[in-house]
Amino acid sequence: MQMTRIMIRATGLAGLLLGVLVLLATQSVEATHSTFAPGDVFVSMKSGQVQWRHPDGSLNAVLTGIIPGHAEGMGFDATGILYVAHWCADPTCLTGNSVERFSSAGASLGAFGSGYNCNPTSVDFDEAGNVYVGQADCTGDILKFDAAGVPQAAFDAVPENRGSMWIDLASDGCTIHYTSQGITVKRFNVCGNAQVADFAFLSDVGNALRILPDGRVLVASNREIVLLNGSGEVVQTYNVAGEPSLWFGVDSAGDGTFWASNFGSGNVYKFDLATGTVLVSFNAGPAFEVKAVAVNRAPSVVIRRGRMTGGGSVFTNDSDAGVPSGTRVTHGFELHCDKNRKPNTLEINIHAGSGSQFHLEELTFARCTDDPTITPTPPTAPFDTYEGKGTGRYNGQPGATAEWIFTDAGEPGVNDRIKKLIIKDAGGAVVLSIPEPGHQLTFGNHQAHK
């Protein structure tokens, strides 16, 4: 497995000074806004506060809640409410030790849930609106709450050095990946209430992690940020020259970039996922005061409603696999958000050599979401992104699989995308891989319907 190691050397002090100049230059452009907006970046602080920043890194406001204790991991539910985990604020853990919610206007909505034991660290959500919380200490269990904050379950995830500190739920809605202040990315199945095989082993302590839609995983791993493939192998690393080996927070922006925070310096960086180029940098506070980072990108899940139709073509490039760069890939489909509704059809034609074809026979997974970074005009449906998986025939042979993400960015279709497309033959060999962020349609159109 080939691994790419990326070190940004032109930063250090000079780079940070440049970042400050960039921020000073852009603060007059980004006006303060009163509600959370797509792409906004949130930075949690040891003081318990949360910095609310624009996509360019400039400061919009500081959120000061009513719950004390270090502010740790954060997450957004489908309605855009921000959840912030707080550690204990005193040695006996009588204060703090809770999760606080903030409205989209940045106002505290008070505590969410109860029974933390102790030091809640990270927050995630499933499609049904349930909330999962990873805990650093005491039992270290993963806690499950319904959307109203009523406790539903406590999962006894196997610890490494601490509890289930940093969690993220996979797209299957069952498997939680987590780190436990050790070198292992561990996994727990909350649907079956069972520990499953470890996902990966790191070269340094793992902190926050984020599962990408294509199954790859970003981990802030002290000395560097690592990108793992779906098999848990390190395929790329990211770093900035001069930064301490205390990379702590990480979150995907959903557009081929990600943000990361360094606890040892207080600096926050936005990286290009493919190249590792630093796109934005700023200092959020003194060393050992800046904790996690979160991006307002959470789409609202639309369950059992609507369908998407369309087709067209894209051309592959060097980032894709299985076919030569420049290969034309055409597709046509009608797919429902409820996989049990019919018809569900998908045809993929790969125009390389003598040509090949994938024909969908069974849709096994469907999820329709509204991505806040996509603004279709007009928005004819309550969603704009279709994620699916299915089985079918590849060149007439049964047992092939495909997974994809299609987006509808409005008429006339020039901004619609095949955001991801992976096809495997019956033997599991990848015959086409278009990873995120994929490609805009060269010809064609995707249309979401109510």
Is the pLDDT at 10 greater than 80? The verdict is no
CA distance 262 to 223: 10
What does 67-118 look like in DSSP terms, one character per residue? Answer: --S-EEEEEE-TT--EEEEEEESSTT--SEEEEEEE-TTS-EEEEE-----S
Per-residue pLDDT tens over the stretch 133-190: 999 999 999 999 999 999 999 999 999 999 999 999 998 889 999 999 999 999 999 9
Same domain, 249 and 360: no
Closest CA to 125 of 141, 140, 145, 150: 145
- Containing domain of residue 367, as a range? 302-449
287 and 411 share one domain: no
Q: Is 166 exposed, middle or buried (0-12, 13-18, 19+ CB in 10 A)?
A: buried
Amino acid 372: pLDDT? 73
Q: Tell me the per-residue pLDDT of 71-97, one tens digit each, with 9 for 90 and over.
A: 999 999 878 899 999 999 999 999 999
Half-sphere exposure for 5 (CA within 13 Å, toward CB): 4
Q: Which two tokens stand for residue 289?
A: 């005061």
Domain-ending residue, one of 298, 317, 343: 298
What pLDDT, on a 0 to 100 scale, did the predictor assign at position 72? 99
> Are 196 and 156 in contact, with CB atoms under 8 Å apart?
no
Q: Which helix (H) or strand (E) holds 16?
A: helix 12-26
Residue of 376, 398, 400 lying closest to 386 (CA atoms): 376
Q: Which two tokens stand for residue 425?
A: 């033959």
Q: State the average pLDDT for the chain.
A: 90
Whichever domain contains 234, its CATH number is: 2.130.10.10
Asked if 312 and 250 sit in the same domain, the reply is no
Pair (321, 244) in one structural domain: no
- Encode pLDDT of 179-238 as tens digits: 999 999 999 999 999 999 999 999 999 999 999 877 899 999 999 999 999 999 999 999
**Which of the two residues, 284 and 302, has the higher pLDDT score?**
284
Same domain, 161 and 181: yes
- How far is 213 from 188, CA to CA, in rounded Å? 19
Q: Which amino acid makes up residue 441?
A: L
Do 332 and 261 share a structural domain?
Answer: no
Say how far apart CA 42 and CA 276 lie, in whole Å: 21
Which of 266, 298, 330 marks a domain boundary?
A: 298
Of the residues 273, 298, 323, which one is the last residue of a structural domain? Answer: 298
User: How far apart are the C-alpha atoms of 216 and 236, rounded to whole Å?
Assistant: 11
Is 107 buried (19+), middle (13-18) or exposed (0-12) by CB count in 10 A? Answer: exposed
Q: Say whether both 103 and 199 belong to one domain.
A: yes
Q: Mean per-residue pLDDT for 411-440?
A: 92
Confidence at 3, pLDDT banded by 50, 70, 90: low
Amino acid at 200: A
Full DSSP string of 251-290: EE-SSSEEEEEETTT-EEEEEETTT--EEEEEE-SSTTTE
Inform me whether the pLDDT recorded for 256 exceeds 90.
no
How many folded domains does the chain comprise? 2
Sorted by sequence, the CB contacts under 8 Å of residue 110 that are 6+ apart come out as 66, 67, 100, 101
What the block records as the tokens of 447 is: 């249309």
pLDDT score at 22: 35
Do residues 166 and 193 share a domain? yes
